[in-house]
């Protein structure tokens, strides 16, 4: 049991250090480790034999990258309230995602995609103190680190605006809350929506705040749903709305031929939807809709 090994009381130095950090802050030189499959590796490190530990469990080998192979920074992904816990603390670890500079890898147009949040697993950091480059947090892996590791380290923010921290929290929640839809809904709506937003509907994406799907019944088996198209406060231009409604008509008709009922799409800003609308729907953010 984890609880059996917790200190009572916790060291004051650890509590004081944890109090200074929040989700979205950056640490330097975080560790990077994972279990590697020796017979079927899918992440090629080119490790020499002496780079690997002797601890093995079946086919798995514990790999820890040397400091010169690790990312220079890491982004804290643990919720702020779980970093410094009011009352009696019960969580000895926090999570960190690796942060690295992708400036040399960017192709034309890719920076814009990063800035708009279209590359689902990468989060662009905006803090002015970061070195020159385009620094991103890679959300595909999060490493657990004991909170005592924070003692003596300088807390520095990775983002600038409060809204950016809110988007980080939403992005992390969405990665864990992506809906498992029935095959028929995926084929008739989710997949075509992804393709359209990366083709004919691409120009409309900057008008969107989010997309939500209200599924009738069990999402895993349902064949009936309603799409909520939530725009930013300024709404959509007439041209963009026309594109959406044209695609909607085509998609509703096509889905009907496949035995899927798509209810009329609903359009508006957040002010036009009720709390019940949002609570009973699942968010289809660009992490879910866009290919990496």
pLDDT band, very low/low/confident/very high, at 1 (cuts 50, 70, 90): confident
Q: 198 and 274: one domain?
A: yes
Q: 125 and 154: one domain?
A: yes
pLDDT tens-digit map of 213-235? 999 998 888 999 999 999 999 99
Give residue 41's pLDDT.
87
pLDDT tens-digit map of 238-281? 999 999 999 999 999 999 998 999 999 999 999 999 999 998 99
- For the chain, how many structural domains are there in total? 2
Q: 252 and 144: one domain?
A: no
- What strands, in cross-sheet order, belong to the sheet with 33-37? 33-37, 60-64, 56-57
Domain boundary among 143, 177, 211: 177
Nearest CA-CA partner of 267 in 235, 230, 237, 222: 230
Give residue 291's pLDDT.
42
Q: Is residue 187 part of a domain?
A: yes
Q: 227 and 285: one domain?
A: yes
Q: 146 and 221: one domain?
A: no
Q: Is residue 58 part of a domain?
A: no
Q: 169 and 210: one domain?
A: no
Q: 144 and 261: one domain?
A: no
Q: 230 and 204: one domain?
A: yes
Q: Quote the CA–CA distance of 255 and 29 in Å, as a whole number.
A: 50
Q: 122 and 10: one domain?
A: yes
Pairing of strands 224-231, 261-268: parallel
Q: 151 and 9: one domain?
A: yes
Q: 7 and 134: one domain?
A: yes
Query: What's phi and psi for 283, nearest 5 deg?
Result: -80, 125
pLDDT band, very low/low/confident/very high, at 288 (cuts 50, 70, 90): low
Q: 19 and 159: one domain?
A: yes
Q: Is residue 171 part of a domain?
A: yes
Q: Is residue 142 part of a domain?
A: yes
For residue 172, give its domain range. 3-32+70-177
CATH number at residue 214: 3.30.300
Does residue 14 contact residue 151 with C-beta atoms inside 8 Å?
Answer: yes
Which two three-digit tokens encode residue 203? 């120009």
pLDDT tens-digit map of 149-206? 999 999 999 999 998 998 898 888 877 777 678 889 989 998 899 899 988 998 998 8
Give residue 259's pLDDT.
93
């Amino acid at each position: 049991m984890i609880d059996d090994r917790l200190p009572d009381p916790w060291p004051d130095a650890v509590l004081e250090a944890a109090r200074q950090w929040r989700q979205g802050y950056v640490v330097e030189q975080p560790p990077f480790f994972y279990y590697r499959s020796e017979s079927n590796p899918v992440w090629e490190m080119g490790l020499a034999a002496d780079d690997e530990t002797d601890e093995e469990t079946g086919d798995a080998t514990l790999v820890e990258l040397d400091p010169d192979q690790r990312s220079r920074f890491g982004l804290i992904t643990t919720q702020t309230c779980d970093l410094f816990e009011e009352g009696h603390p019960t969580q000895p670890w926090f999570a960190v995602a690796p942060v690295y500079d992708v400036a040399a890898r960017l192709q034309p147009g890719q920076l814009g995609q990063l800035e708009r949040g279209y590359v689902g697993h990468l989060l662009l950091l905006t803090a002015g103190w970061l070195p020159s480059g385009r620094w991103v947090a890679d959300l595909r892996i999060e490493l657990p680190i004991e909170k005592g590791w924070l003692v003596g380290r300088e807390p520095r923010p990775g983002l600038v605006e409060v809204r950016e921290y809110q988007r980080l929290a939403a992005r992390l929640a969405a990665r864990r809350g992506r809906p498992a839809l029935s095959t028929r809904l995926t084929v008739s709506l989710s997949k075509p929506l992804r393709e359209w937003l990366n083709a004919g509907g691409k120009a409309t994406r900057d008008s969107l705040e989010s997309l939500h799907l209200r599924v009738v019944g069990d999402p895993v088996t349902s064949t009936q749903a309603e799409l909520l198209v939530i725009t930013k406060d300024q709404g959509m231009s007439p041209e963009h709305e026309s594109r959406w409604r044209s695609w909607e008509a085509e998609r509703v008709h096509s889905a009907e031929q496949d035995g899927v009922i798509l209810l009329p799409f609903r359009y508006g800003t957040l002010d036009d939807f009720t709390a019940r609308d949002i609570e009973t729907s699942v968010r289809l953010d660009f992490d879910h809709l866009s290919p990496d």
